Every structure is written in C-alpha cells, then in structure tokens.
A = this chain, B = another copy of it.
Amino acid sequence: MNSREFSNHLKTDNVKINDPFWNKINETVRTSVIPYQYLALQDKVEGAEKSYCIENFIKAGRVAKKLRQGIESQKFPIDKWVYDEKNSDENAFHGYVFQDSDVYKWIEAVGYSLQNYPDSDLEEKANKFIDIICNAQLDNGYLDTLYIINDIDKTFTNLKDWHELYCFGHMVEGALSYYNATGNRKLLDAACRFADLICDTFGEDKIKGYPGHEIAEMALVKLYNETGKNEYLKTAKFFIDERGKRPYYFDCEKGTKSTAENYHYNQAHIPPRMQREAVGHAVRGVYLYSAMADIAKAYDDNELFNACKSIWNNIENKKMYITGGVGSTVDGEAFSFNYDLPNDLAYAETCASIGLIFFARRMAENEINSRYADVMERALYNTVLSGMSQDGKSFFYVNPLEVLPEASNSDSRKRHIKPVRQKWFSCACCPPNLARLISSLNEYIYTENDNTLFVNLYIGTELDCGKAHITVTSDYTESGKVAFKIDCKKPFTLALRIPGWCGKYTISEKFDIKNGYAFIKIRESVNISIEFKTDVKIIKCSNRVRANVGKAAVTRGPFVYCVEEADNGNNLQMLRLSDSPDFKYENGIIFAGGFREKEDDALYSEYKSPDLEECIIKFIPYYRWGNRGENEMSVYIRI
C-alpha cells in the first residue's frame, strides 16, 4: 500500500531569488567563481594547478576530425587515474580521467546563472566552449576526451574506473541547464546523441554494465523529464536494477573475482534495492541514492523507496555531521561505520553535501516530511557554504569540524585537512559543483503537487506557479522573520516547513501541523507573516559519537557555529561553555559566557579540579571559518 505523496520542485524560470543573504553569495558565484573557473578551465590562472580540461577537448576535436577522415590516430595507454605532463605523452590526454566533467559543471552553473542574470558576454564564452566540446563528438554520438584522444577502441571496457558514464552524466546536466536558460539546443542535441548511443549500448540483451561513479542515472531521468523519451528513463532504471547483481559486471569486464566487500566503495556490493546502509565513496553514494529516489518516484516503486528510506535513516541518524557533512573518512572518501564522526579527521567533502541536497530534494518529492528539507538546509548553510571563501576565489574540498594547523602541516593522517581554502585543485570537482548548486538554488526552495505548494527553504523570492504569484521577503537567517505576499490564482494549500531547529514560531494565519509542515488553506490573496524564533541553542551530539562526549555545539537558526583561534586564542580545547550561558548575538556573531582552563604545567599530575578563568567565548558561523589565515577551529566545545 502506497501512503506516499509525490511532489515536484519548481524550476528556475518560475522562481527568482531576491534575498539579502543569498544575493551576496549568488553575486560572488556570478562575478567571481564563474569567471575564475572560466580561466581555470583554460589553464589561465597563474599559480593554480593546471586543469587541461579545454585543452583535452581541443585535442579530441583534432582526433575526431582525423577519425572522420579515416586517418588512423596515434594511441596512448588508458591505465591511470591521472595523467600529467610527466607521466604521459604531450599529445595524450591530460588531467584526471573525469576532467571533462569540469566544463560541463561550469556550463551548468552558467546556465542557471543566465536564467537569473542574463549576460550576453558570458553566453558567448559558454557558446565557444560548447563549440569546442561538440567538435570533439564522434559521429556515433560518443564523447569522452580520454578515450577519443588515447584509444577509441577501448570505449566502455572499464566502466568501473574510468568515468566515461560519469562525464556523460555531467554533460547532460550541463546541456539541460544551458538549454533551459538560452534555448540554445546545440549542447543538448549533442548530449541526446550521446544518450542515444548509451541507451543502444546498455540494457537487457546488450552490455549489462553500469557506471562505476554514479550520476548518469540521475542525468538520464532529467533528460527523460525534458524530452519525454522513455528510453532514457528505462536505461536509468536498468543501471539501478543491474547494479550489484552477481556475477559482478565489474568483475566480468576485468576478468577478476571479487567479494561484496570490494564493491562497497561503488555501492555495487548488492543491488541498490536491497541496500539499507550508506556505504562507500560518499559522493557516489548520494548520487546513486538520488537516482534511486528518482526512479522510485517515476515508477511508484515502493520497494526501491523503502531502500532509499533505510539509507536515508542511516545517514540522518548515524552518519551525518551536525554541519550536514557526510562521508567521514578520507579512506575512500567514504561513509564510515555508524557513529564514526571524528572532528579532526573528518573528510566531509563539499561535493558529498551537495549530493546529499540532491538526495534530500528527491526524497521530499517522494514523501511529505520536513526532515528532508531540514537536512537540505543543514548541509546548505553549513558544509556547502563553508566550501567557498568569502571572495569566491578559494575552496575547501574537505570540511573538518576541528582543525589544528600544526597537525595538518605535519601529520600525514591529517594532510587532507587544509587549515585554509585552496585556490584550485587539479581534482576540481568541488568548486564547480558548488557553483552549479548555488546557481540553481531556486530549484530547491519549493515543491508542489496538485493541491499544495510546499515551502522547503525560506529564501526571499518572487515565484509564479499555477496557484499563485507569491513574493517572499525573508530575513530568515537574521531575525527568522519571513513575509509571504500571495496573489492567489486559485485556492490551494500552502505548506510551510517548520524548521527542525525551531521550537517557537508564530504564523499570522491559521494552520494545521502535519509531517513537520504547517498547512494553510489559501482561498484568496493574502499576506502572511511568520517568525521563527532564532534563539541561540546548545546542541548535544549523541554520546554514541566518541569524539563529542562532554562537548556541545552552538547553533542559531540554520547555522552551526564554531570557535576560531583568531577570536579566542589558541588551545581551543581549554575553553568551556557555561551550562546556561548568557548568549549575546550581534551581527552574525555569538558571544557566550564561559571559562578557560589554566594551562597545566606538568604532562601528568595528580587530578584536581582545573583552575578556570571566566571568559567570553566568541562564536562565528561555521561557514565563515578559515577566512583569516591559518588558525585553530572547533565546532564542538566542552560544556
């Protein structure tokens, strides 16, 4: 029996953001991140690691031309995860095997951005890239520069490791965004040709493979939604149904014999619909789970949805940092075991939290429950935003909850934890992923079905749907006040998410609470004002998490806070929060009464209650840490 209630997210063309908090961030992405990445993709940023991304497409274009002319091209080995100028021929492919995806992500961000802010100059730049990309496409639709440049005879022979289907997925997502923004079909047509080739290649009675790094599944569902071509949806479902079946396809293609353990990393140890726990590479995981939720909805597939829900429960209740970070171990950039959420060894990749947001929205579209948007908000306002510096020019890949620069600089176990954001990574998945998520934020705010408009995030917007034209004015991140000005077109129900963090709130209209939403019947145009009390809260992490016993975190509204050395001196572990401190909030900063232990002289001494000095502890929002040079940081503090 199906008790689910489906909904769909509103798209960018129906939702315009106008929000004091987000305008600034969008502006940074638009005026700083996107132009910066435009240069980075072409290796024009001095001092940054080379991308090779556009260079590869240009090389591939040359090879494609030769192939069309029937001229044999020189071949190079496809045997590595990364090809640099030292370990590969100068005419061969360079960069990571998934380097193509960077430009697709950039185009996706550009597409969303253009929908919000038309910009003919930017459009022209994107068109040039699209020309270069399409030039590299083969007549049969194939397009992956690694294989085109290095050895076209090897396509689709190593799905497990070499990311062809991953790059394809990003191509589709970029193409759709750009088409929706500009109406320019060139890249979309190319993506469809590649999609057609993939649908012809994989399936029952064809190659029974599936992607090593998931995303094609999600992308094919999107492409189906845009084009209505059933084959795309069917192939997405095929990838999910085939995954994890025995004998393992990844073994078949390599002639190896592996156990389930070997494929946890790829979530291919058992079929997805039998999975109950989030395991393996976290980004791959959340991308797969997102697609599973898509397919569960498209086919009204309860069994698959139950798998999604078990996995969701596992993440939300046992594997997610308070900041919405997931994938706590550097070891395979992966989900660790239950309750293993170390602060100073965290991985919590920016991309994994972005993928968690994808998963969350899709779960919300499968079932009405505010928990999904709660997690979406937690990840967005904390780990995702933390991924980018205030000026949009440097990025965190890894988002720890505790940092001691000395440890990061001298300890190989913590080398992944950077005490300051980096300019650009050769493995630059996070910065463009951030750009595309923030540029497409419009699509995460509202979901709707026939009767109801669900408000999942409280961001100032102008929105237009069949039910109403609505102007939302939001001071959510500061005062918690939000105003809805509704020009009603026909009666509907407005469902306002009550944030999980909020204990007290007022809504100026009558409402019923169900599944975490306040349902308000809208029969005519009306103004609604809401206030979510944004008291500072002290939050405890379960004592199952070893790193956090005896400690607590401070939050306000959607923001998790942290202490930094710049404000509180070094040795942050010596700080202690009072049990019931007098919090003072001022311009985004929280001041709290607390204590600092006097430093112990001896390494070991007979125990006595520590000497404490009263002090004022200063907390800043987690997403703003690391903008003042190398220094200690901690989310949790002793209490």
Report the minimum CB–CB distance from A261 to chain B (whole Å). 10
> Which chain B residues lie closer than 8 Å to A610 at the CB level?
543
Within 8 A of B (CB), among A588-639: 597, 599-610, 638-639
Cβ-neighbour of A608 out of B318, B411, B540, B549 (below 8 A): B540
Q: Which residue among A344, A404, A411, A545 has the maximum number of chain B CB atoms within 10 Å of its CB?
A: A411
Q: Are B540 and A600 in contact (CB under 8 A)?
A: yes
A542 and B639 contacting across the interface, CB-CB below 8 Å:
no
Which of B410, B571, B600 is close to A336, meaning CB atoms less than 8 Å apart?
B410
Given A337-B407, A411-B336, the answer on whether A540 and B316 have CB atoms closer than 8 Å is no
- Bitwise interface map of A from 43 to 66 toward B, beta carbon under 8 Å scored 1, else 0: 000000000000000000000000
CA distance A446 to B574 in the complex (A): 42
* Chain B, Cβ-Cβ closest to A329: B411
Q: Nearest Cβ in chain B — how far from A429, in angstroms?
A: 22
Give Cα A518–Cα B122 distance, bound, in whole angstroms: 84
- Asked if B549 contacts A574 (CB within 8 A), the reply is yes
Interchain CB contact (< 8 A) of A337 among B406, B545, B602, B605: B406
A580: nearest chain-B partner, CB-CB: B607
Q: Contact partner of A413 among B331, B406, B407, CB < 8 A?
A: B331
When chains A and B are docked, how far (Å) is the Cα of A380 from the Cα of B336? Answer: 36
Known: A413-B345, A638-B550. A604 touches B540 (CB 8 A): yes
Q: Give A319's nearest chain B residue, CB to CB.
A: B603
| Bound form: Cα–Cα A550–B604 in Å | 14
Contact of A607 (CB < 8 Å), options: B540, B609, B638: B540
A607/B406 contact (C-beta < 8 A), A413-B413, A542-B602 known: no
Smallest CB separation, A469 vs chain B (Å): 37
Contact of A407 among B340, B538, B574, B606 (CB under 8 A): B340
Complex Cα distance A406/B605, Å? 32
Report if A573 contacts B (CB, 8 A).
yes
Q: Is A268 an interface residue (CB 8 A)?
A: no
Contact code string A524-551 (vs B, CB < 8 Å = 1, else 0): 0000000000000111111111100110
Contact B543 A599 (CB under 8 A): yes
Known: A337-B407, A549-B638, A550-B638. A316 touches B412 (CB 8 A): no
Q: Is A437's beta carbon under 8 Å from chain B?
A: no
A407 to B329, CA, bound (A): 11
- List residues of chain B with CB within 8 A of the CB of A317: 602-603
- Assess whether B603 is in contact with A542, with CB atoms less than 8 Å apart: yes
* Structural contact, A539 and B413, CB atoms closer than 8 A: no
Chain B residues with CB below 8 A from A331, complex form? 411-413
A337/B549 contact (C-beta < 8 A), A317-B603, A604-B541 known: no
Q: Point out the residues of chain B lying under 8 angstroms from A605, CB to CB.
A: 539-540, 542
Chain B neighbourhood of A79, CB < 8 A: none
Q: Does A322 contact B (CB under 8 A)?
A: yes
Interface: A153 (CB within 8 A) = no
Q: A609, B579: Cβ atoms under 8 Å?
A: yes
From the candidates B329, B345, B544, B579, name the one contacting A600 in the complex (CB within 8 A).
B544
Please state if B597 and A543 are interface contacts (CB–CB under 8 Å).
yes
A402, closest chain B residue (CB): B546
Q: How far is the CA of A639 from the CA of B411 in the complex (A)?
A: 29
The reply to whether the CB of A167 lies closer than 8 angstroms to some CB of chain B is no
Nearest-neighbor residue (CB-CB) of A406 within chain B: B337
Q: Which residues of chain B come closer than 8 Å to A599, judged between CB atoms?
A: 542-544
CA–CA, A549 to B604, complex, Å? 12
A538 lies within 8 A of B413 (CB): no
CA A571 to CA B608, docked complex, whole Å:
26
Question: How close is A569's CB to chain B, nearest CB, in angstroms?
Answer: 13
A542-B604 contact given A407-B340, A574-B549, A638-B550, CB 8 Å threshold: yes
A181 within 8 A of B: no
Q: Which of A322, A344, A603 has most B Cβ within 10 Å?
A: A603
Q: In chain A, residues 400-420, which have Cβ atoms closer than 8 Å to a Cβ of chain B? A: 404, 406-407, 410-413
29 examples of A-B residue contacts, CB within 8 angstroms: A317-B602, A318-B603, A322-B604, A329-B411, A329-B413, A331-B411, A331-B413, A336-B411, A337-B411, A340-B406, A344-B546, A345-B413, A404-B546, A413-B413, A537-B607, A538-B607, A539-B604, A540-B606, A542-B600, A542-B605, A543-B573, A543-B597, A543-B599, A543-B600, A544-B603, A550-B638, A552-B607, A579-B609, A607-B639
Beyond A344-B546, A537-B607, 5 additional contacts (C-beta under 8 Å) are A330-B413, A542-B605, A544-B600, A544-B603, A550-B550
